[in-house]
Amino acid sequence: MGMGKVRWLLFDSCSLAQNPCCLVCLNERVIFICSRNLWRSRTAETIFKDSKDHLVKSAGTTPGARVRVSAKLIARADIIFVMEKKHKQRLNENFPDEMQNKNVFVLDIADDFRYMDKALIEIIQTSVTPYL
């Protein structure tokens, strides 16, 4: 199993409360959210997925999203980055309990880019780096 698969499994299953000796659990769990999880949030995940300090995932808020956000994903996240205000609103409406006391940052990145667009990469890095 590749390291990427292992990191995904750790995001889903590893918990400092369950395993206080697990150093991987000390990594912050970060989720990037957009509508369809095709371009913006997926690009952000690709940029930060190899971070030694963060376990990173991405998801979308619409039913047809490549990876759809779930209550479990929200509950396990330490930091949530959304591309637009409407994504934060959708999360609050669909997952009110899981969104309690979550660190959510609205990046204000419009859906004007393709996956791994150079301008998108620059905007994401500039917007996210101060928080990580």
Report which DSSP code applies to 27: S
Q: What is the pLDDT of residues 36-67, one digit of tens each?
A: 999 999 999 999 999 888 999 999 999 999 99
What amino acid occupies position 58?
S
Report which DSSP code applies to 116: T
Q: CB within 8 A of 13, min separation 6: which ones?
A: none
Q: How far is CA 14 from the centre of its chain?
A: 16
- Contact predicate 131/105, CB 8 Å: yes
pLDDT reading at 31 higher than 60: yes
When pLDDT is cut at 50, 70 and 90, the band that residue 113 belongs to is very high
More confidently predicted of 11 and 87? 87
pLDDT computed for residue 23 by the predictor: 46
